[in-house]
Structure formats: structure tokens, C-alpha cells
Structure 1
Amino acid sequence: MSNLSTRIATRKMSHKDVPICLDLDLIDQRDDVMRALDAAHRAAKNSDERLVSGEHPDVSAARERVAELDVQIREASIILRVYGVDRHTYNQWIVECPPRKGRQEAFDSSTFFMHAAKNSAKYVDESGVEHEITPDEWVTIDKMTDGEYDRLAQAVLYVNRGLGQVDVGFFVNGSEPTTDS
């Protein structure tokens, strides 16, 4: 008798974390500081005041500011963990988001990805503990930017379609390796 059913029962579905910063001004500030860090690097490299050892003070100051902003961004962010599901469930979600009238599309992409996320994502708190997300919380989450929505949609696609398309045949096909004698 085969152990196929037992092995399939142990299948682990993948997940992808989608961090969302709740203070987008911090992201903008970090971009500015990264540009300043780059400029400080270039200025120090071209400066006649090259230091024999250590880092140029302007570069050090910019690095410190980047590190400070990284901490602030982490503190101001939430993580949504999107899980993959079996193909029957995924295809049922597609059926639940039918094409819009007058459009040639397989499903309504304007609603599908949020529908899939609502049915597969969990909130990961600061301690790494997963929590169910209530319908009221989803209403608030759904007010995200287009860019954040795109990252959430990409996570849905990645765990449900992208990983499954990876051909693992290279890893499992054939016999045991033999050595040439």
C-alpha cells in the first residue's frame, strides 16, 4: 500500500508577508535621507579630506538617520501574512468575483485580490503572533494606497500561482547520483 495520501496530508502551503507602513511620510523621509547618504558617499570619495581610517562624518550622520528612520518605519508598520490555498478554493474566489459587464476579463480584478486576501490573510502583531482580521478591520485596511494594494495582489498571486509553477522535477527526478569509476 502506498503512502501517497499520508504524504499529501502533510502539505504546507506557502505564505508571504506584506508590510504596510501606516505613516507614508516616513517612507518619503527615508528616500530623502538615502539620497543624502548617496551624495555624502560621492562627496567623501571625491574629497581631498580622505580619511585614513574610519568613515567620513557626513556619511556616518546620514547612516545614523537612515537607521533611525528604519526603526520608526518598523514601529509604524503592520504585517499582513497572505497564505496560499488549494486550487479549488482559489478558483471559487474567481467565480465569486465575476467579470464586469462589458469587459473581456476572466474575473473582476478590482475586487478579486482583496476578496482573496480577506479569505487568506492574517494580521501578524509586533510579537509575531497571527490574528484573524475582522470585517471591520478589512474596511479600514481596504483604504490602502494603490501601491500597497498592488503588493497585496502580488502576494496573492505569488503564493497561489507563482510558487506552484516552479518545476521541482530537477530536484526529484532520476535515480540516486552515481560516481564515475
Structure 2
Amino acid sequence: MWVLIFLCALVFALIVPLGGNFFGLPDAVLPPLFAANLTLFLWLLARFVGRPMVSFLEARGEGIADELAQARRRLAEAESLRDEVRRRLDEVEREVEALKVRADRDGAAEAEEIAAQTVREQQRFLERVDEEIRRRTTEARTTLSRDTAELTARLTKDLLDKELTSGDRRRILAASLTAMRSADSGD
């Protein structure tokens, strides 16, 4: 490769007019000297500047490749994280919908239970009211029968005292006692 560079530099030196005298050297020596000088300069440049620059550029290329690989890896992680977030969000939405359906169902069941309990409470209240009405009706009948018997006994006594004989009194008293007994028994 360096031979090819030397030959190219020599052809270039022969084509370009030099003009002037360099260090008193003959004109025939100058083109090969310029070609050798240019080749030596390029070799030194490649050796002392090119290699470190190539090493730097290779290291920089590897660094860029590593950064690119890390960026791709982070992108893949971000995409998987995005997919995971979407999956979890869908799952949460399904759970919320299930909770809503369950709450609606539980609310309806609770409303039915409250309605049934209200009906049971209403039935118990009506039974207590009916029982109270029966009890008070029985008490009123008993009181009415007793008051009627007392009134009948007083009236009978008054009548007996005024107009009846002792035999009449006994018959009326027996009839009144029979009426009182039948009233107490509920007939």
C-alpha cells in the first residue's frame, strides 16, 4: 500500500511544475524526494495520528453501539412496561365492572331483603294490633257483661223490693244468676 502511495506522489510531483531551487538540489532529484517526503509524512501521520484516531473512533463506535443496544433494551423494557400497564389497566377496568355488577346485584338483594323485612314487620305489627283488638274486645265484653249483670241485679232488687213476694224474688234471683253465669262464660 505504501508503495502505491509513493508512486502516486511521484506522478503528482512530476506533473506539477516545481519552479525554484530547493537547497541547491538538481531538478531530477526533486520529484522522487518530494514523493518520498509526502509518503513519509503520510506514513508518520497514519502511524502516530491515524492509529490513535482509529482506536478512538473504534472505541467511540463501540460506545455508540453499546448506547444504541442499551437504548433498544430500554425501549423494549418501556414497551413491555407499557403492555403490562395496559394489561393491568384492563384488569382493573374488568374488576371495577365486576364490582359495579356485584354492587348492583347486592343492592338489589339488599332492597329485596329490606322489602321482605318490612313486610314481616308489618305482618307482626298487624298481628299485635289484632291481638290487642281481641284482648280489648274480650275485656269490653267482660266489663259490659258485668255491668249489665250489676245493673240487672240492682233493677231486679229494686223491683223485688217494691212488688214481689219472696218466691218471686227467688225465681228472679235464680234467673239473674243463670244469666250472669252464662255471660261470664262468654255465651
TM-score range, shorter chain: under 0.3
Instruction: Kindly indicate which of the two structures has a greater share of residues assigned to helix.
Output: 2
Instruction: Kindly indicate which of the two structures has a greater share of residues assigned to strand.
Output: 1
With normalisation by structure 2, the TM-score equals 0.19
Q: Give the structure with higher Rg (CA).
A: 2
Question: With CA pairs under 8 Å and 6+ residues apart, which has the higher RCO, 1 or 2?
Answer: 1
